[in-house]
Amino acid sequence: MIILSEATTKDIITIQEIAKITWSHTYGEILSKAQIAYMLDLFYSDEMLHKNLESNHHFILAKEEEKSLGFASYEHHYQNKHQTRLHKLYVLPQAQKRGVGQLLIETIENKSKAKNDLSISLNVNRNNCAYLFYKKMGFQIVEEENIAIGNDYFMEDYKMEKVL
């Protein structure tokens, strides 16, 4: 049985381990090793995760029999709108296609509705096949974005939204 729990600063190492494994698997053929290393350090450093966890970001861990399977990070009332922002959702390769991602999304949807948010937004790399998962979950592509993140790197994303 998959159990979801709110992550705390005690879970930072677990989040970092999941990110490192899933990023190599997900982005290994999309981004250079240098860009993956840069982005992992940018988004998953101890400092950044502490900052996220101490702000309005909420992290949910998915576990089965004490083994971590994945996580999601989200923020209600994103940019002072009635919208939840799904910042991160990663499931270990061996746990994919088992409903973990769907359970994380559905949980965030329920929490968003309880906070009176009207939609959920996210960005996903245009070359990441996860955009098909999000489409299956009811998200629609609303635009393409190229976001400069430093070191001459860009995130080349679809912005997707789902009305709740």
Q: Can you tell me which residue has the tokens 């879970």? A: 11
Q: What is the pTM of this model?
A: 0.95
Residue 62 has phi, psi (to 5 degrees) of -105, 130
- Condensed to tens digits (0 to 9), the pLDDT of residues 50-73 reads 999 999 899 999 999 989 999 999
pLDDT recorded at residue 81: 96
For residue range 91-127, list pLDDT tens digits in order.
999 999 999 999 999 999 999 999 999 999 999 999 9
| Confidence bin at 87 (pLDDT 50/70/90) | very high
pLDDT tens track for 135-145 = 999 999 999 99
Domains in the chain, CATH or no CATH each? 2-163 (3.40.630.30)
Which of 108, 112, 139, 143 is closest to 126 using CA atoms? 143
